[in-house]
């Protein structure tokens, strides 16, 4: 048996049969010969989609070499264990950036595809998977297939957002985004309610990246961030060199008191209604990456992140959900609000769809299950859905309702692959 | 940037530390690598990677247990490039001491891999270094060579021999303007140590690689990496033999 492992939420702690972290293609191919397999990246998903208590786990973090990069077209090919951080460090000085980025760089390319991650630019760019030209997929029959929109397209669609259950992605080719500088022209705007959020959001459609931090304990007041990569070349293409702060201790720093202080400070630190600044991409896109292992501040029981998407016009329902959190006295250290655009991902199981998405972090406690189950009802009633990469507790029944392509997707699940999530959702045995 | 490429020979290029060092080299300067190792597919994947960094590379296959092959490979290198800017030797094997110390066949293989292949390879290239009066020879030895311990003294013996050889070679080649760097890593999280239970002393190969590239640039003589191993080994070396032999290290 291998050591116990956990995911980013630190709620599940499991002991896989074995864990290997191969360096080379031949080793990966050999490793997937095991009966029950799950290939994982850097274990940064919040729930159990990257965990398995029964399987042999193949971690790709050492299988991380660049294969090629075309500086003129921005097309990059790499082994899937490469981290977004390594990709960024390579492409930024060459004048390119990730086309889509989640809030952390510490995930692998394979993980970004398997969860079809999204970012602050979803309303203009869509999901990460939309920028994947092709990938090579190894399945348990020993075949390696090239998958793209034109070749093995059904498998391509099932694998993007496919939660790692269709096989092991070996390499992938992606299109990067051209930048003139590594800085963004940013506006931070304070707002007092969800209504204000919508007003600012309607006014921000032309901005490349938009997101808002909100305080759910105070009528969803918050700060709206919007930014465009700056084309004032004097800023240059520079990597960030700020020191990282590590949380080595497993100390439950988060409680209702520190949460209210933090939210108060966060809202008050900006004095003017509108702040115009030039920000490096690092603090703009990855404000939490400088706090290594910040999830440990939630203590031993871990955290749940509840991320849902509901239609844009479901404003009352959004308020109702926030009321449920209040009713159960569930406070959140960090809550973000963002709208998704109309762009459709090729992924059958991709999470984003047009609407508004909220992501709320809760310290784990016993009341949380009941509270979130109540919130689920509203999400389901308006045809919304939850994000599998963040989930630790949704019901299989809801899951099947949320993802209409699930039956098509299931045809492509490799019989030797499963995760604790796939078992919990009755996707696999 | 230099007006020509740096020529860097890497023996054991698919070893984890070597691979990370190659990437570190790629961050500055224009480089031309000769990548030497056993597995062609693996070496080719590193070749693709350095080409993505705009460097050039050629791949040579060589089995370090076969000394004739090692000498032949050194000759091929001499024909492939004129100036050798950096010779970096990073290959090695970490045997299970229990299986080796009573078995001469295995012992000879280990000594060939970890010691003889290293010095025979260098020997073939020494005339070129003396002639060009420039360049760096950097070799991965180990803290294990600083004192023989019951748990890994065969590996330690080979590494001690390398360290002694390099010390003499440094002295010799100093007068030719050639620099010799002895690298003594402690525990590093690599393919070689993948079956060794991890403890907090384990270092990341990326940070070790960074230190090695710095040491090559700064012409350091002996590099303990991470640096605290210098002090650990100082203590271990200072234990009187009468006491040391009773320890279970």
Domains and CATH numbers, chain A: 183-402 (3.30.70.2520)
A290 inside 8 A of chain B by CB: no
Which pLDDT tens digit goes with each residue over B125-183?
Answer: 999 999 999 999 999 999 999 999 999 999 999 999 999 999 999 999 999 999 999 99
- Give per-residue pLDDT as tens, A316-331: 999 999 999 999 999 9
Listed by start position, the domains of chain B span 6-244
* Cβ of residue B51 closer than 8 Å to a chain A Cβ: yes
Q: What is the pLDDT of residues A335-388, one digit of tens each?
A: 999 999 999 999 999 999 999 999 999 999 999 999 999 999 999 999 999 999
Touching check for B141 and chain A: CB below 8 Å?
A: no
Question: Are the Cβ atoms of A65 and B39 closer than 8 angstroms?
Answer: no
For residue B94, pLDDT over 50 is answered with yes
Environment class of residue B35 by beta-carbon count within 10 Å: exposed (0-12), middle (13-18) or buried (19+)? buried
Q: Are B41 and A24 an interchain contact pair (Cβ–Cβ within 8 Å)?
A: yes
Residues in chain B: 249
Separation CA A63–CA A108 (nearest Å): 10
A250 pLDDT tier (thresholds 50, 70, 90) = low
Strand residue runs (E) in A60-182: 66-70, 75-79, 96-97, 132-138, 144-147, 168-175, 177-178
| Radius of gyration, alpha carbons of chain A | 21
Per DSSP bridges, beta strands B136-140 and B179-185 are parallel
Mutate to test the interface with A, among B49, B55, B57 (most CBs of A within 10 A): B49
Say yes or no to pLDDT of A151 above 80.
yes
Q: Name the percent of chain B lying above pLDDT 70.
A: 99
CA–CA gap between residue B36 and residue A62 (Å, rounded): 20
Whether the link from the prior residue into B226 is cis, omega within 30° of 0, is yes
Contact A23, B16 (CB under 8 A): yes
CA distances to A34, A288, A318, A325, A331 from A217, rounded to whole Å, are: 49, 21, 14, 9, 7
In three-state secondary structure terms, A43 is: coil
Give the per-residue pLDDT at A248: 61
Q: How close A99 comes to chain B (CA, Å)?
A: 19
User: Which token pair is B177?
Assistant: 């303007």
Q: Is residue A34 exposed (0-12), middle (13-18) or buried (19+ Cβ within 10 Å)? A: middle
A19 in reach of chain B (CB within 8 A): no
CA distance B110 to B87: 22
> Between residues 68 and 127 of chain A, which touch chain B (CB distance below 8 Å)?
68-69, 79, 90
Q: Identify whether the C-beta of residue A212 lies closer than 8 Å to the C-beta of residue A223.
A: yes
Does residue A252 register a pLDDT over 80? no
Give me A231's structure tokens: 């084309």
Measured distance CA(A152)–CA(B238) in Å, rounded: 65
Q: Flag whether residue A267 sits within 8 Å of chain B, measured between CB atoms.
A: no
Strands A13-14 and A5-6 come out as antiparallel
DSSP A402: H
Per-residue model confidence (pLDDT) at position A249? 65
Q: Model ipTM?
A: 0.91
How many beta carbons lie within 10 A of that of residue A66, not counting itself?
Answer: 23
Q: Which of residues 11-30 of B touch A (CB under 8 A)?
A: 14, 16
pLDDT band at B3 (very low <50, low <70, confident <90, very high): low
Which one of A19, A23, A78, A171 makes the best mutation probe of the B interface by having the most chain B beta carbons within 10 Å? A23
Among the partner residues B41, B42, B49, nearest to A67 by beta-carbon distance? B49
**Chain A residues lying within 8 Å of B205, measured CB to CB:** none
DSSP letter at A329 equals T
* Contact between A43 and A14 (Cβ < 8 Å): no
- The percentage of chain A sitting over the pLDDT mark of 90, rounded to a whole number, equals 84
Give chain A positions within 8 Å (CB) of B191: 23
Paired tokens of B113: 């891999």
Calpha distance B47→B86 (Å, rounded): 17
Cα torsion angle, A215, A321, A107, A340, sign: negative
Q: Which helix (H) or strand (E) holds B184?
A: strand B179-185
Task: Work out the burial of residue A238: count CB atoms within 10 Å of its CB; fewer than 13 is exposed, 13-18 middle, 19 or more buried.
Answer: middle
Of A21, A65, A90, the CB nearest to B45: A65
Task: Give the Cβ contact number of residue B105 at 10 Å.
Answer: 8
- For the domain covering B6-244, report its CATH number: 3.40.50.720
Question: B206-242: per-residue pLDDT in tens?
Answer: 999 999 999 999 999 999 999 999 999 999 999 999 9
Is the CB of residue B45 less than 8 Å away from at least one CB of chain A? Answer: yes
């Amino acid at each position: 048996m291998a050591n116990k492992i956990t995911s980013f939420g630190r709620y599940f702690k499991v002991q896989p049969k074995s864990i290997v972290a191969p360096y080379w293609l031949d080793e990966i191919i050999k490793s997937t010969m095991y009966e029950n397999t799950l290939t994982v990246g850097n274990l940064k998903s919040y729930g159990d989609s990257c965990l398995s208590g029964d399987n042999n786990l193949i971690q790709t973090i050492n299988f991380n070499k660049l294969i090629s990069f075309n500086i003129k077209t921005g097309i990059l090919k790499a082994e899937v264990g490469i981290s977004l951080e390594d990709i960024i460090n390579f492409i930024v000085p060459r004048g390119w950036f990730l086309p889509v980025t989640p809030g952390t760089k510490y995930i692998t390319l394979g993980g970004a595809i398997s969860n079809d991650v999204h970012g602050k630019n979803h309303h203009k760019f869509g999901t990460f998977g939309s920028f994947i030209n092709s990938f090579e997929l190894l399945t348990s029959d020993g075949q390696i297939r090239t998958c793209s929109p034109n070749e093995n397209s059904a498998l391509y669609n099932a694998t993007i957002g496919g939660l790692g259950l269709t096989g092991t992605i070996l390499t992938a080719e992606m299109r990067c985004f051209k930048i003139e500088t590594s800085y963004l022209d940013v506006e931070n705007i304070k707002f007092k309610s969800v209504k204000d959020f919508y007003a600012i959001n309607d006014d921000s459609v032309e901005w490349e990246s938009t997101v808002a931090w909100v305080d759910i304990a105070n009528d969803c007041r918050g700060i709206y961030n919007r930014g465009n990569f700056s084309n004032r070349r004097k800023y240059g293409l520079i990597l960030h060199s700020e020191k990282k702060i590590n949380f080595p201790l497993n100390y439950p720093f988060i409680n209702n008191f520190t949460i209210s202080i933090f939210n108060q400070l966060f809202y008050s630190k900006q004095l003017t209604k509108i702040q115009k600044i030039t920000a490096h991409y690092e603090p703009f896109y990855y404000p939490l990456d400088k706090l290594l292992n910040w999830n440990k501040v939630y203590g031993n029981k871990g955290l749940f992140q509840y991320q849902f998407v509901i239609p844009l016009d479901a404003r009352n329902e959004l308020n109702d959900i926030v009321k449920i959190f209040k009713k159960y006295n569930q406070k959140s250290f960090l809550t973000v609000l963002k709208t998704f655009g109309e762009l459709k991902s090729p992924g059958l199981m991709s999470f984003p769809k047009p609407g508004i998405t909220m992501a709320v972090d809760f310290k784990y406690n016993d009341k949380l299950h009941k509270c979130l189950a109540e919130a689920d009802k509203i999400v389901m009633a308006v045809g919304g859905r939850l994000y599998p990469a963040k989930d630790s507790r949704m019901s299989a029944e809801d899951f099947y309702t949320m993802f209409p392509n699930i039956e098509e997707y299931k045809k492509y699940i490799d019989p030797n692959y499963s995760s604790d999530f796939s078992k919990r959702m009755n996707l696999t045995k | 940037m230099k007006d020509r490429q740096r020529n860097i020979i890497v023996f054991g290029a698919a070893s984890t530390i070597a691979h990370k060092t190659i990437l570190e080299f790629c961050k500055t300067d224009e480089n031309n690598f000769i990548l030497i190792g056993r597995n062609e597919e693996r070496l080719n994947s590193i070749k693709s990677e350095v080409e993505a960094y705009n460097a050039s590379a050629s791949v040579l296959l060589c089995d370090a247990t076969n000394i004739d092959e090692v000498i032949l490979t050194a000759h091929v290198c001499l024909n492939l490039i004129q100036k050798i800017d950096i010779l970096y030797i990073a290959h090695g094997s970490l045997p299970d001491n229990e299986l080796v110390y009573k078995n001469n066949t295995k012992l000879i293989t280990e000594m060939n891999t970890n010691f003889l292949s290293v010095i025979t390879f260098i020997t073939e290239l020494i005339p070129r270094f003396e002639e060009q009066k420039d360049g760096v020879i950097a070799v991965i030895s180990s803290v294990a060579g600083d004192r023989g311990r019951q748990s890994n003294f065969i590996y330690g013996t080979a590494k001690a021999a390398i360290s002694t050889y390099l010390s003499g070679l440094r002295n010799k080649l100093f007068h030719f303007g050639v620099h010799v760097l002895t690298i003594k890593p402690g525990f590093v999280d690599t393919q070689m140590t993948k079956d060794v239970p991890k403890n907090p002393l384990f270092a990341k190969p990326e940070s070790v690689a960074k230190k090695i590239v710095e040491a090559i640039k700064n012409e350091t003589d002996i590099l303990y990496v991470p640096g605290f191993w210098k002090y650990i080994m100082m203590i271990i070396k200072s234990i009187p033999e009468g006491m040391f032999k009773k320890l279970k290290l």
